[in-house]
Amino acid sequence: MKIRDERGRALGAVKTPPDLVEFMVSLCHPTKSRCRVLEPGCGDCPFLLAFAQRYGFHHELVGIDIDPEAVRAAKRNMPTATIIEGDFLLWEPDGRFDIIIGNPPYGIIGDGSHYPIHSLKEKKGIYRNRFWTWQGKFNIYGAFIEQAVKLLNEGGKLVFVVPASWMVLDDFAKLRLFLAHSGHLTIYYFGRVFSDRRVSCVVMTLEKGRKGISLHDGLSPVSRRTDYAGELIRFETPEWLAFEKSGPPLECFFHIHFAARSPEVRAHPLVSTTPKSSLVPVLTGRNLKSGWIDYQNCYSGLWMPQEAAPTLRFFYAFPHIVVGHTKGTRVVAAVDDRCYPWREEFHLVAKADGLDERAIAAYLNSEVVQDYVRSLYRDLVPHLTLPMLSRIPIPQEFIPTHRLSLFAQEN
Ligand SMILES: C[S@@+](CC[C@H](N)C(=O)[O-])C[C@H]1O[C@@H](n2cnc3c(N)ncnc32)[C@H](O)[C@@H]1O
């Protein structure tokens, strides 16, 4: 049992709650008297069973799973279906499908010490070459989506429950573009649907060949567009869009940099793992508070001479605004006026002189900015991202007049 659990975990196996299965099946609306229906990563095929119970067993039902044990369970559960043991991502079936429904595995493929999906790590290079949408670290669910869309008939429908991260992360920019060109997207945001997983999820459907996008909060419609072209998918309202346009975006006046990464800091010849009076702590997100910085405590376990900090990143040489990356979907900012070394967070380097950085940091911590970020991005990802930060509007009173006119000319 333990071995099976461990293998399942390494393949991203998670059971879908029955009421979610029912809801997703209710979105299928078969349009042919006999549809070809596929459940990829089928486990014991809950979706095929619920589909057949709702629409009839006369449809052609196909499941595929890479785990032989899951395949045995699926065959027991659905003796009338065709169940295939194989890798869905490398599968080349004879024909396409009218409906593809399921809950694909989630996780970054890589080494077991860092990443959840480690059984498939030898194939990562093959997947990367095979999938156009593969970008950055990516996530196995993105590859499942691309493969499923390719295997759909024109006019066919995909219904998947997946993490919400593809809606806003840069690593999924190509996936959003691919989806925008492939069909009409309908998204139902449900937040945490798996009690034992801290992941915010959406049910997405794609009707191949149509265009546009509709977003729902649960079942309530939020927005609908006929011209989707792969942009970030946010909970936009006229009020928050007006707020966003009320001032130039932060990226207009600041270069936004990431801190030096942990391996680089550790490898630095002047970094020590023991404190000395001549050294200062290398700061992390835990040192960053709303409006102030805790310079005393060392959470990184690393120390270095303060004057050597700029050899890690040039911007550790002068006072600048630091904004939290690792603090959930909220904005936490403070000015580092002591110029310490950092191992985490965003560092804002002013593009122009004369900006009141202390006032801007206080504004970034304000309730209105927290409301703006929470309303547009909910908990789609567990941290603040670069695009989220760069779009925050800066009130005009914090910007010197001559810089403001430059911004007006550019726009
Ligand atoms: C999240 S579970 C979903 C199981 C079932 N569909 C459900 O909803 O309860 C994902 C399933 O995908 C399977 N899987 C993982 N990688 C796969 C691959 N490359 N090809 C086919 N199946 C895979 C796992 O074995 C697991 O059964």
77 is catalytic: no
Q: Same fold for the domain at 2-233 and the one at 241-410?
A: no
User: Cβ(100)–Cβ(159) under 8 Å?
Assistant: yes
What pLDDT score does 408 carry? 61
Q: Mind listing the pLDDT tens digit for each residue in 306-341?
A: 999 999 999 999 999 999 998 888 999 999 999 999
Sequence letter at residue 24? M
Closest ligand 1 atom, CA of 102?
6
pLDDT digits (tens, 9 = 90+) for 277-310: 999 999 999 999 999 999 999 999 999 999 999 9
The amino acid occupying position 241 is L
pLDDT recorded at residue 1: 38
Provide mean pLDDT across the span 360-382: 96
Q: What is the pLDDT of residue 196?
A: 77
Per the DSSP assignment, residues forming a β-bridge with 65 are: 85
Tell me the CATH number of domain 2-233, given options 3.10.50.30, 3.40.50.150, 3.40.50.300, 2.60.200.20. 3.40.50.150
Q: Which residue has the tokens 């567009």?
A: 225
pLDDT > 70 fraction of the chain, expressed in percent and rounded: 95
What is the sign, positive or negative, of the torsion defined by CA atoms of 107, 109, 110, 111? positive
User: For 9-30, what is the mean pLDDT?
Assistant: 90
Q: Does residue 411 register a pLDDT over 80?
A: no
Average pLDDT taken over every residue of the chain: 93
Going from the Cα of 228 to the center of ligand 1, the distance in angstroms, rounded, reads 30
Whether domain 241-410 has CATH 3.40.50.720: the reply is no
pTM exceeds 0.85 for this model: yes
Edge-first strand order for the sheet with 200-208 is 82-85, 60-65, 36-40, 97-102, 152-163, 200-208, 183-192, 213-217, 220-225
pLDDT single digits (tens) 176-200: 999 999 999 999 999 998 877 889 9
Residue ranges of domains in the chain: 2-233, 241-410
8 A C-beta contact, residue 303 and residue 287: no
**Can you tell me which residue has the tokens 């032989």?**
68
> Could you give the 3-state DSSP secondary structure of residue 90?
helix
Edge-first strand order for the sheet with 320-323 is 254-258, 346-350, 320-323, 333-336
115 pLDDT above the threshold of 70: no
Q: Whose CA is nearest to atom 18 of ligand 1?
A: 87
**Ligand 1 proximal residues by C-beta, below 6 Å:** 11-16, 39, 41-43, 46, 64-67, 70, 87-89, 102-103, 105
